[in-house]
Structure 1
Amino acid sequence: MKQLKLTGFVIFLFFVPESLTLPTQPQDLGKKFTCDHGVLCVDCCSTIIVFAQYVQEASFEEVEMLVKAMTEYRDKCLVDMTLPVCSKLANDVLLENICALEGLPQKHNFSHCCSKVDLERKLCFFHNKKADAGFLPPLPTLDPEEKCQTYKSNRESFLNNYIYEVSRRNPFVFAPTLLTVAARFEEMTKTCCEEQDKANCFRTKAELVIQYLKASSSFQKNVCGALMKFGLQVLESINVAILSQKFPKIEFKELTSLLEDVSSKYNGCCEGDAVQCIRDRSKVMNHICSKQDSISSKIRECCEKKMPERGECIISSNKDDRPKDLGLREAKFTESENVCEERDANQTIFMAEFLYEHARRHPELSTPELLRIAGVYEELLKECCHTENPPDCYRRAEYKFNETTEKSLKIVQRECEHFQNLGKDDLKYYYIVKLTKIAPQLSTEELTFLGKEMVAALTTCCTLSEEFACVDNLVDLVLGELCGINENRNINPDVDHCCKTNFAFRRPCFEGLEADKTYVPPSTSQDLFTFHTDLCQAHNEELQRKKDRFLVNLVKRKPEFTEEELRSLLADFSNVVVTCCKAEGPEACFNEEGPKVVAKSQAA
């Protein structure tokens, strides 16, 4: 995948299908709004998404009960829109109906949220979400022929069930993204059901849908985590950096106008208000295309496309060309005699303009690096504006910026050296061990996922000319996954410090972390070495996942083990599997060989 596509995902958040537009008043849900190719009914789908994300344990039958209740509500309001209940916002009505489902609040342990009202209730449901969906059963799989028959016989139920399963496993993904994923899934199903080799078609096309969902989910969780932990100002700084790089010819006044639309939508999207999220994101797209002449020369053809194709077109478009008269630096921030006075007049606007000017001049820098430079500049002015001669002081700003970037560049170079010197398996081994030692409190599934994501980021970026920005952006997203969205997520003191102290500088902070000294491993490791014949049925990919989980659990139980000891025991695990799966009686072999591995680990 080209860097263009990856960085496109990093700004995909701002560009969505306008055909998903919904007003916020619930009575208007009776109107038929559709997404891609007119295939999905948004009022029904929004209901499914909200319920499945807020109450992940709920069954599909229970979700259908809520859809029925919302349909009855809609029909009632269509008959008489003057009823008091019909003036409420859609998300409030959805939550009220969820709480009104008999016995469900007690069954799924959300009755404490139902005792609250308005914003407190919404936030309670939000904090109830579980990012790690390991408690859910495996995603149901159907034989391709069976899948096609099910789709043809009951398309609506088939698609609704898909939206439900994906939504509850991705509780923080924005509703428009899930609707796009569902639409792509139906398009894939239509295509593959006409193919001779259906299985291969589904396998190939599903990978692209999964990539889109993963990239979208990662970025959305990252920016929502920034909003929840650090507030609106940090979120707006992220938006300034991204939009200024994408649209370098946009005037600052126009940028601030666009930011009002972009930033205002985040509360709804991040808290799971599907209807508000869809509506506000559509507003952003309309704004961009209505002002395209003053925003970008690269999106004219995109804005002429039908909805929702133009959103995808803008995501994939190149960054606009930097204006020819735009120098590498804006002198007013380092050479002017009046910097301190301008800063004091309106510090928020002043810093936003600095970030805008620096970002549009430096497309080669990552979003986190631009935020670090802005942070360094802000601290420098705090120091300089209290000296006798401020201009002499802040004229060294460029030196400070270069120094900051050089430090970040060295981190990326070290990471890409790991990629160059280690094979893919050893690279994953390195990051799984490193991450488990610094954050052993995370689940085994989370740690294996994070290790794989680190490898994917370096594999994608370390061969590109845009290596620095690519690595820094994607690894920062991995750290965003680690830190999580909720402000009350606690892992251990050192990790919490890196996650919660300074959004821009968490990469350098994590770089300095060592094994968690507060961690107390479980008292026994006996269960770690329980081998079963299911290892013999596992295909290569599944067997590798089991090896990764074994490694994580080994480090969790024996964090003091050296790399040589870990590698030796991991090799023992692989050898036992190979030997016993070839034996006439695999179970008996496992029962004999397993204890030997246990004894070796305990002796170490």
Structure 2
Amino acid sequence: MRQLNLTDFVFFFLFLTESLTLTTKPQDVDDFSVTQNFIDEKNTGYLTIIEFAQYVQEATFEEVERLMNDMLEHRRKCMADKTLSECSETANNILQEKMCAMEGLPQRYNFSHCCSKVDFERRLCFFYNKKADVGFLPLFLTLDPEEQCQAYKNNRDSFLNHYIYEFARRNPFAFAPTLVTVAARFEEVVSTCCEEQHKASCFGVRAAPVTQYLKALSSYQKNVCGAFMKFGPQVLNSINIAILSQKFPKIGFKELTSLLEDVSSKYDGCCKGDVIHCIHGMDKVVSHICSKQDSISSKIKECCEKKIQERGECILNSNKDEKPKYLSSREAKFTDNENLCEERNTDPNTFFAEFLYEYARRHPHLSILELLRIAEVYEDVIENCCNTEHPPSCYHNVEDKFNETTEKSLKMVQQECKRFQNLGKDGLAYYYLIKLTKSAPQLPTEELISLGKETVTALTTCCTLSEEFACVDNSMDLVLGDLCGVNENRTINPAVGRCCQTSFAFRRPCLEGLEADPTYVPPPIVQDVFAFRADWCQTQDEELQRKKDRFLVNLVKLKPELANQEVQSLFINFTDTLESCCKAKAPEACFNQEVVQFSYYNFSDIPGKTN
């Protein structure tokens, strides 16, 4: 499966959606059969599991199943008589009311304060209760392939419900249609592999793309929702303008504006976990695109001829249209226009949206983030110039500012890829573990390790591609989206907070320039942080690497003042000692002599170290 990038985002949730349409209120439906076709037992159950597990990630599977059964019973009553008073409530409100009514549940999982609120305030409260760092959850232990197949055969529904529950609570910001799609693809893997003789190898090959699909989309959805929650709908609108204008460069601005209304209006529900609101009306986007395909794109004709369930995914995988030959490299309206300030003053939002549209469709090679940076630079320049005595002479050379901004971004990407080429994958991983830990030492060790791993994946994937610039810039921003978090109350330290909250477009260069956090006070050394035991020698490769990573992160947290080269030197000494002792006849004795001596000489001056 190909890697998804930012351009794909706006379409990712479209497949399945025309078959997943339902209304927010059953009595709003004129064609009752259409609603009934969607709100079957399976989909109602899936959506309940997703929403509950994302809102209350600690809830047990049994508790989730209990609520699912309550919601199914509610559905049956409303299908039998849609005029009942309780059927006028939105599904999201009903679900939250039932969650709050479950005996002892709000107190046990600390969401009682949300239950005292109503409507929008309650939905927002549940949203802010979500935890992006899921390290508090137990390890997701997958069954042996034979056991998986037997469990699937014994009780298909319970088996799939359990996996949706695990996927949802570990990806609390993933949109409901994504998780429903993952469930469908996972069942395809199970049903296929359970017929194979070599089940384990089949699962290994076929399950990996499904996991990558979920990880890629969940990361992007979390990132965009973070932008939406921190900076508001205007930033979300700009992201969608840039994506759609690059994907469909021949689309007219009025048509784009009309399409944006369908796209952007759905994010409030998707980002805040209202699965019904998220899914409701998504088919309008696909229908809109296909109904206007002649004026939107020449690449989607075959997609729009497919079955309803297949259209969205086909559009997702379609290539960008080529830039029309009639498009020049610049639009004079925004640089050489004597009446520019007057036009801007008439409707600033529309004026700057049209600038972004024109620039994006003329520059298909740029990243989405770079397009947003240029739009922000342009807005600042025009704001200043329109306050001067002769604005045209001020903004006439504004494109020099664009080129300057792009050169800075390009240089940053080139430095990152050069670092990858010079250091290799392992060296790159250690470089970013040190850098991330110094910049944000307050983060949990496991979260820093995860961010470092994501960074390495982004660079090793993108630095060998022809679209290196856009791929690196877009992918690295996803990592920073995880660092900044979704909730507005995410606090790390003042410097990181300033970068995350000042400008969505410029947070990457801001974070890239951060040094060690000057406000950070190292904690006292914790017992066993630097304890090295012989069982490390029996640890499998992946877990051994995580132990090394933890050592490195803890070292930086305890000695943040050390220069990067000093940290790397200490780490190399440690790994050399580890390798040497594991080859010795008596590893335990070797550790007692070498590693204890190593830790004493290098960490004896750490605050809190006891001898």
TM-score normalised by L of structure 1: 0.95
Match of 2:609 in 1: none
The match for 1:460 is: 461
Residue 140 of structure 1 deviates from its aligned partner by 1.9
Query: Where in structure 2 are the equivalents of 1:111-190 lying within 5 Å?
Result: 111-190=112-191
Please list, as runs of the form range in 1=range in 2, the aligned pairs for 1:413-492 lying within 5 A after superposition.
Answer: 413-492=414-493
Call closer, same or farther: CA 1:141–1:579 in 2, change over 3 Å.
farther
CA offsets per residue over residues 202-222 of structure 1, 9 Å max, x none?
A: 112221111111110111111
Does 1:31 find its partner at 2:31?
Answer: no
SS state of the match for residue 142, structure 2? coil
For the residues of structure 2 that align with 1:7 and 1:117, how far apart are their CA atoms? 35
Letter matched to residue 425 of structure 2: K
SS in 2 for 1:360: helix
Task: Describe the SS at the equivalent of 2:282.
Answer: helix
CA distance 1:182–1:334, change in 2 (3 Å): same
Give distance in 1, aligned partners of 2:110 and 2:284: 36
Q: Which residue of 1 aligns with 2:5?
A: 6
Are residues 1:260 and 2:265 paired?
no
Measured in 2, the distance between the counterparts of 1:530 and 1:515 equals 26
Cα-to-partner distance string for 1:112-132 (whole Å, 9 max, x where unaligned): 111111111111111110000
Q: Distance in 1 between matches of 2:82 and 2:254?
A: 41
Deviation at 1:581, TM superposition (A): 4.5
Match of 2:63 in 1: 62
Q: After alignment, is 23-32 or 266-275 more displaced?
A: 23-32
CA-CA distance at 1:15 after TM superposition:
2.9
Partner of 2:567: 566
- What does 1:121-520 align with in structure 2 at a 5 Å threshold? 121-520=122-521
CA drift at 1:363: 0.1
Distance 1:10 1:240 in 2: 12
Mean CA deviation greater in 392-401 or 164-173: 392-401
SS state at 2:173 partner: coil
Distance, in Å, in 1 between the alignment partners of 2:443 and 2:275 is 29
Relative to structure 1, the CA distance from residue 160 to residue 588 in structure 2 (aligned partners, 3 Å threshold; closer, same or farther) is farther
Shift of 1:572: 4.3
Contact 2:13 2:177 in 1 (8 A): no
Could you say what secondary structure the match of 1:119 adopts? helix
Give the aligned residue type for 1:223: V
Q: Partner letter of residue 22 of structure 1?
A: L
Unaligned ranges ≥5, structure 2: 606-611
Q: 1:205/1:534 Cα in 2 relative to 1: closer, same or farther (>3 Å)?
A: farther
How far residue 444 of structure 1 moved from its aligned partner, in angstroms, is: 1.1
Contact 1:26–1:90, Cα closer than 8 Å, also in 2: no
Instruction: Give 1:223 shift.
Output: 0.9
Distance 2:116 2:154 in 1: 42
One-letter code aligned to 1:302: C
- Over aligned residue pairs, what C-alpha RMSD do you find? 2.0
**Distance change (3 Å), C-alpha of 1:460 and 1:384:** same
Question: Take 1:177 and 1:600, find their aligned partners in 2: how far apart are those partners?
Answer: 52
Q: Report what 1:20 is aligned to.
A: 20
- Distance (whole Å) between structure 2 residues aligned to residue 438 and residue 306 of structure 1: 50
Q: Percent identity?
A: 66
The answer to whether the 8 Å contact 1:12/1:315 transfers is yes
> CA offset at residue 71 of structure 1?
1.7
SS of the counterpart of 2:372? helix
Does structure 1 conserve the Cα–Cα contact (< 8 Å) formed by 2:7 and 2:243? no
Structure 2 residue matching 1:528: 3-state secondary structure: coil
Query: What displacement does 1:580 show?
Result: 4.9
Separation of aligned partners in 2, 1:386 and 1:584 = 79
Cα gap change, 1:183 to 1:284, in 2 (>3 Å) = same
Question: Kindly tell me: are residues 354 and 79 of structure 1, through their superposed partners in 2, closer, same or farther at Cα, counting changes over 3 Å?
Answer: same
What's the CA shift for 1:33?
Answer: 2.5
Residues 212 and 235 (structure 1 numbering): CA distance in 2 closer, same or farther, change over 3 Å? same
Contact kept, 8 Å, 1:372 with 1:404, in 2: the verdict is yes
Residue 327 of structure 2 aligns to a residue in which SS? Answer: coil
Match of 1:84 in 2: 85
Which 4+ stretches in 1 moved above 6 angstroms? 27-30
Q: Distance in 2 between matches of 1:430 and 1:328?
A: 39
Residues 124 and 433 from structure 1, CA distance in 2 versus in 1: closer, same or farther, beyond 3 angstroms? same
Runs (5+) with no aligned partner, structure 1: none
Query: Alignment length, in residue pairs?
Result: 599
For residues 12 and 556 of structure 1, what CA distance do their matches in structure 2 show?
A: 41
Distance 2:310 2:86 in 1: 36
2:12 and 2:313 in contact (8 A); partners too: no
Change beyond 3 A, Cα 1:212–1:583: same
CA shift at 1:25, angstroms? 1.9
Any conservation in 2 of the 1:30–1:74 contact (CA below 8 Å)? no
1:371 is displaced (CA, Å) by 0.8
C-alpha change, 1:74 and 1:591, in structure 2 (3 Å) is farther
Q: Deviations over 1:414-440 (max 9, x none)?
A: 111101111100001111110110011
Partners of 1:78 and 1:468 in 2: CA distance: 53
Provide Cα deviations, 1:553-589, integer angstroms capped at 9, x if missing partner.
Answer: 1111111223343234323443454455456765666
- Rounded to whole Å, the distance in 2 between the matches of 1:477 and 1:76 is 43
One-letter code of the match for 1:554?
L
Distance 2:310 2:280 in 1: 17
8 Å contact kept, 1:9–1:216: no
CA distance in 2 between counterparts of 1:281 and 1:547 reads 45
For residues 8 and 179 of structure 1, what CA distance do their matches in structure 2 show? 22
Give the match for residue 556 of structure 2: 555
Paired AA for residue 379 in structure 1? D
The 8 Å contact of residues 444 and 553 in structure 1, kept in 2 or not, is answered as yes
Distance 1:174 1:390 in 2: 45
- Structure 1 distance, partners of 2:107, 2:47, is 24
| C-alpha distance after superposition, 1:256-286 (max 9, x if no partner) | 0010011100100000001111123332222
Comparing 107-116 with 582-591, greater Cα deviation is found at 582-591
User: Aligned partner of 2:380: which letter?
Assistant: E
SS in 2 for 1:445: helix
TM-score (norm 2): 0.94
Q: The residue matched to 1:61 in structure 2 has which SS?
A: helix
Q: Write the deviation string for residues 360-386 of structure 1: whole angstroms up to 9, x where unpaired.
A: 000011111111111111111111112
1:582 and 1:386 map into 2 onto residues whose CA distance is: 73
Give 1:134 deviation, angstroms.
0.3
